[in-house]
Chains A and B, each alone.
Chain A
Amino acid sequence: MRKLFLLIFCTLAIGFVIASIPKYAFALETCGEHECDGWTESADHTTCYKGGGCPSWVCEKVTDCKWDGKENSCEGNNCPTSFTGDECFLCKGDGGGGGGGGGGGGATCPAGKVTNGKCEAGLRPITVANCCKDKDGGTCTPACTAEQICNAEKKCVPNSECTGFVKASVAPSTVRPFDQVTVKCDYGKRLDCLSVTGAGLANCRYSRYEGTDNIFVCDAGQNAGFYDDAKCTTSTGTAGKCCAGANKAGDMTILGTDVHYDQDIVLPFETVIFTARVQTVISKNKGVRIELICNADTCANNIKKNATIFSLPFPSTNDFVTKTQSTQLTGTGDDRHYIVRISADKGSEAYFDSVSMKDTKGRELIRNGDFTSVNNTSVTTTQPAEWGEGDNKVGYYYGSLAANEPALNPTSGPNPTSGPSPTGGAAPTTVNLALKIKLQGVTKKPAKSEPINMQVKLGGGGLSASTAYQTAQFTVDDSGVWSGKASFSSISPGGGYRIYIKGPKHIAKKICDEGPSEGKGGEYHCGDGKIALKAGDNGFDFSKIIQLAGDLPEAGGKQNGIIDAYDTTFVRTNLGSTDAANGAIGDLNFDGVIDTQDYSMILQSLSIKFDEE
């Protein structure tokens, strides 16, 4: 009961206070110079009216509007149309100021007529266009810019002493990290107060003066992205020639060296927990990373646009690994824009399974979307256009991301025929291999005896890692022995080498001996390399062992290094087929038909199943 009483009392009290506010809060403003245009200004300069006039107190009160002796309501500060058609409204002044003390959009009181920061009663403030100082010395808006001065009439005018900006440019507009960038700042003359800022440019140095261009050379930043804040910046300089200021120089884009998929997202200002599940198959150069990039002018912890908030590296692993990163995101206003970047540097390949970002309450902030597979593209792969930033999608099934060598710049990329650097021994040179091999199921010259392409690579010996596979053409003789040649540069002559051979429908065979043999077909296996290579030609006869068939080419003609259910089923399904297209895939003994011999061969090869490494 007592609480109820208190509540009622409080409500009444608040109503009382609110009702009282207008009396004390509203102060009459003097009408602005043009405020009563089309109307008549009242004698006390506080109202504008039409017709017979409207005393200011009428408008001052929200009720009891009296007009021609009759009651009328008065909403806000405007009297409605009266019975006689007369109207009035209460002046608001010029921008609400009206005094000589400041503000007022350039309005100021006549000299010496300011009292308590306002024009004396009955005086209208004078508007001074582009005012920089009022006549009592206080400032008013607009303030002069860095390239303006306040003249004797207290107006901001261009500073004729300042050197004017003409134009600027950035070249090239698309660069790689750390590339050289030329920025031209044209101010019509040579300046000693000039610098180049923004866009992640670093180490900018004055190069020369050409024509009217002040030319700077800078290094592009390391963070890939689009930059629109490269500026020619002037400071207050020698002999008044320079006034502090900045002028946009141009836009530029810094390319990443990797294939990457970018997704724009908006994140809240709080702690977020980022998780990704990735298997990196090959990691080269900067490897495989998932990064959070700032996509606003300023992001968490004052990190600037295009800079990395965090980077989760994924070294190569045999299986998927999950990594988690917790990050506090701070900021204000629009600083909530980020990019989730999924990158594979050149030569790297990875499978992406899931990416998640949750807030502290466990709510998922991003959603998996679909970018399928991205291979060897040198440009940024961005989200589909129909995805809005607010969708916060990142990839549906991630598929794979592969940045195949050679590098983006072919002219500076590695020699495709060369392998990894030799680790020591004799000086690297070119070695040529002349090889004889035998394929499973081929005991004489087959019906389909066209040359075939085999893949050959070297390992062991003086190599720190195996070379890349090279394609070598092999031809078959009457006894079913295939012969072919392959050449490798930058190989140190010496022993300990292994030779890997993989046929177009076969699993890779590792050979460690110069004259290998086997009892039962396919049972030869080896460990360390024992093959000696010399500079120039090297001939090896591997025809006493067989290359097992069964890893059939799949979509795009690629083999996956495994004999799996697809391979066995393809042969089984096409039993009896003499179709050339089917035969090119499943005719393992090259006799022109897919038959039970092929099926038996593939089942036999299942004893090995995998490429030998």
Chain B
Amino acid sequence: MENTKHTKYTRLMLLILAVILLVASIVGYIVSQRMNTNQRGESTTQITITPSVVPTLIPYPVQGSLALKEKTGQSIKLGSSFTIDIFATSSKDTVAGYDVVLSYDTSAIDNQSVQNMASSFRIFTYKRTNHLSISATKNLSITEPIQFLETPILSLTFIAKKKGTYVFSLKPVGNETSKLVNEAAAVTYPETKDIRLEIN
């Protein structure tokens, strides 16, 4: 009788011990997880990514936009031609001239033509090694002020020569920048966005 009682008591104590160890392990694990979380919270900083802005030698005002749009919106067949239109917004400012610097992989894509969509302007096109440079000046005969509001200004036709994914960018190349110039000859730099095209 005494032995049985003693055995039961021993078992109970062992069970309690086991439970304590289990609970201690669980509590320890939870605590360590919380500490880890806190440490991570301290060491990282929640950051908002600021969009990349076009650099220049002199701080400049960013105003308006130049947007690239591929007409079909579909992938392009190797050897076929495709068109990219450029739309301009001048944010209520006048425009008396503009420059477009369009970079792309000239080994994979060949520019066929540049069509002036804004007839009030005269354009000058230059094919450079890795980009197209287009400069536009408002015709002398046009005297009324012109503003751009999602205005199509250029339509560019290309031929796809190589398969792959290619980026078209209006970002600066050397000293050449995409920009708008108003009637007072003040320069503003529009926001731009790259587009990516796939040639199959």
Contact = CB atoms under 8 A, between A and B. Distances in A.
Interface of A: 6, 9-10, 13-14, 16-17, 266-269, 277, 279, 281, 318-320, 336, 351-354, 356, 359, 363-368, 372-373, 390-392, 396-400, 402, 555-556, 558, 560-566, 568-570, 572-575, 596, 599, 603, 606, 609-610
B50 A562 contact: no
Contact of A367 (B50, B135, B172, B187): B50
B65 interface: no
For the complex, would chain A's binding face be called helix, strand, loop or mixed by DSSP majority?
Answer: mixed
Given A14-B23, A572-B140, A364 B49 contact: yes
A565 B58 contact: no
Interface of B: 16, 19-20, 22-23, 40, 43-50, 52-59, 96-99, 103, 122, 124, 126, 129-130, 133, 135-138, 140, 171-177, 179-185, 187
Given A566-B185, A569-B97, A365 B44 contact: yes
Contacts of A365: 44-45, 47
Given A359-B44, A373-B58, A396 B136 contact: no
Nearest to B52: A354
A17 B43 contact: no
Given A277-B52, A352-B55, A373-B57, A564 B19 contact: no
A565 B135 contact: yes
Given A10-B23, A14-B23, A400-B57, A568 B135 contact: yes
Contacts of B16: 13, 16-17
Contacts of B130: 318-319
Contacts of A267: 43
A372 B59 contact: yes
Nearest to B57: A400
A268 B44 contact: yes
A356 B52 CA distance: 10
Contact of A10 (B19, B138, B171): B19
B53 A396 contact: yes
B137 A572 contact: yes
A562 B175 contact: yes
B57 A563 contact: no
A16 B20 CA distance: 10
Given A566-B185, A573-B183, A573-B185, 10 more contacts: A10-B23, A13-B16, A277-B52, A367-B49, A368-B53, A396-B53, A397-B53, A562-B176, A575-B140, A609-B135
A573 B96 contact: yes
B58 A318 contact: no
B47 A565 contact: no
A35 B149 CA distance: 84
Nearest to B173: A319
A157 to B, nearest CB: 44
Nearest to A607: B124
B181 A565 contact: yes
Contacts of A6: 19
A573 B184 contact: yes
A245 to B, nearest CB: 36
A67 B181 CA distance: 93
B52 to A, nearest CB: 4
A606 B19 contact: no
A8 to B, nearest CB: 11
B40 A268 contact: yes
Contacts of A354: 52
Nearest to B44: A268
Contacts of A555: 58
A363 B40 CA distance: 12
Contacts of A397: 53-55, 59
Contact of B96 (A269, A364, A400, A572): A572
A277 to B, nearest CB: 7
Nearest to A336: B43
B97 A566 contact: yes
Contact of B20 (A14, A352, A573): A14
A401 to B, nearest CB: 10
A356 B47 CA distance: 11
Given A266-B45, A364-B49, A570-B185, A606 B135 contact: yes
B121 to A, nearest CB: 10
B175 A560 contact: yes
Contacts of B57: 373, 399-400, 402, 558
Contacts of A366: 47
A69 B55 CA distance: 86
Q: Which of B130, B137, B180 has the most CB of A within 10 A?
A: B137
B174 A318 contact: yes
A354 B58 CA distance: 17
Contacts of A398: 55
Nearest to A356: B49
A606 B103 CA distance: 20
B126 A609 contact: yes
A564 B59 contact: no
B58 A556 contact: yes
Q: Which of A10, A353, A569, A606 has the most CB of B within 10 A?
A: A569
| List of 7 A-B pairs having minimum Cβ-Cβ separation, nearest first | A565-B97, A268-B43, A397-B53, A569-B97, A568-B137, A570-B185, A569-B181
Nearest to B22: A10
A406 B139 CA distance: 45
A564 B176 contact: yes
A390 B52 contact: no
Contact of B55 (A10, A392, A399, A565): A399
A599 B140 contact: yes
Contacts of A596: 140
5 contacts: A10-B22, A353-B53, A399-B55, A565-B97, A572-B185
Given A14-B20, A560-B175, A563-B135, A569 B185 contact: yes
Nearest to B55: A351
Given A10-B19, A363-B47, A566 B175 contact: no
A570 B187 CA distance: 10
Nearest to A610: B126
B130 to A, nearest CB: 6
A560 B135 CA distance: 15
A38 B189 CA distance: 80
A525 B19 CA distance: 93
